Structure 1
Amino acid sequence: MLNTWYAQHLMQSSRHGKALKELPPSLYDYWKSSARNEYHGIPTDAVFFARAAIGLLDFFECAAQGSEPCALPSKAADSVWHAWLRLAPLKLEVFCRKHFGRVVPHVEGAAMGGSLDDALAVCLVRAREAAGLAPEGPRLPSLFLLDKKVKMPFGFGYSVQHGRPGYSQLDAAGRFDPAIACPPQLAAAGLLGAGLISAVQYAEFEERVRQQANSSGSSCGSGCGSSLDCSSSSSSCDSGSSCGSSCGGGGD
């Protein structure tokens, strides 16, 4: 009962509260019975579902803003999307048009074209802006932290090292591997090069890094002293196993 009450509280207090009230009444039960067949070991309690559903709506908000490919950084959110697509695809289209202005098509990573890291960068900037964060970083919005928070088995664990976002795959118990890969597309310089942030925003990021370095007496930025590893990076990904996403939306 406490779990159910807290799940309801999360949905009601979310900025998507009005839309969440219009989820199909049977979606939770359907997801609970079917998700474990697709995602081995996934928790199926009400709080997990609530957080995943909120994350999915965060993503719909990001993907609906333009036609560019926009990658979903959460398998937890994707589990709800998959269940909804199986249960009531036409109602999902109506829901998206009503609350986000357009249908968000589900596109598997291999079919999105280009680099999934490029599509993740689009999602990262839009999710930061929606959360009231600086689009250039370095802070991560809740959508990118979702899988790690709910301990999604084999989900995507995101963190920041030396001001650069990166990811690793969570293990079967949803535990985070700190040896992250930091794709250049997700760093502030990569966002600038892709036209996702302005030169002014990039300069503001650089200034914040300098101030943090000066205040800490270090020259390597806010990530110093961490065990995270950004020595490896991936500029092009073709599958969810090695990337921070396995699907997304964009174009309609």
Structure 2
Amino acid sequence: MDISLSGKTAFVSGSTQGIGKAIASGLAAAGAQVVVNGRDRGRVDAVVAELRDRVPGAGVRGVAADVATADGVERLVQELPAVDILVNNLGIFGPRPVLEVSDEEWLRYFEVNVLSGIRLARAYLPGMTERGWGRVQFLASDSAVVIPAEMVHYGVTKTALLGVSRGLAKAVAGTGVTVNTVVAGPTRTEGVETFVGELVGTGLEWEEAEARFMREHRPNSLLRRLIRPEEIASMVVYLSSEQASATTGGALRVDGGYVDAILP
């Protein structure tokens, strides 16, 4: 399939590492003008330079803004008033017994994982509908469906994204704009490597730690390994394309078969 995003501008929140960086790279390779985002200007600039080296001729620039806050979104929109492709990737996670999660931490998780995407969609969807074309995607997780006992607070925020995405898709029905959620399975990122160490212990070779983590904590996986960020990015690039014009209001799984269900 020949996917071209030439002439489209894409913004990926939280794209200085992990899945977000892989998505930014994949969109740039498909021809989109990509805007990398993070809170730290130095890290943003470093990733912009890395992607320009990785994808010769890529149109990549960066905006340093904390889009987990209303002020950060406002600053972003001032610098980037319109986009064609919005990827709400920003998110935080971490294990904690559910009865020990404070009100403040619940609110923080909703602010970062849910409200950031809602604010960005609210800012950019009107322009997309006026132009008659646009793509909005939310990065959810298998944890949205299979709530993990060790981080219920995280799973609940990802469940919320499924409802937000479906509702927004209805709000822009018939406009040429699509809204979808990508349900990512356990993926090898810098944060997940740390998370794996916390659960299975440090001092193990990575292959052994990964196998033990999948066996003991993610036994439903049919892939039997952690997904690579580039594998998630491939779905995002497809959903950003003209070829995915009839896919909207959906939850598309790139979960390695982790969710034990026939339907998406």
Q: TM-score, normalised by structure 2?
A: 0.24
Q: Which has the higher strand share?
A: 2
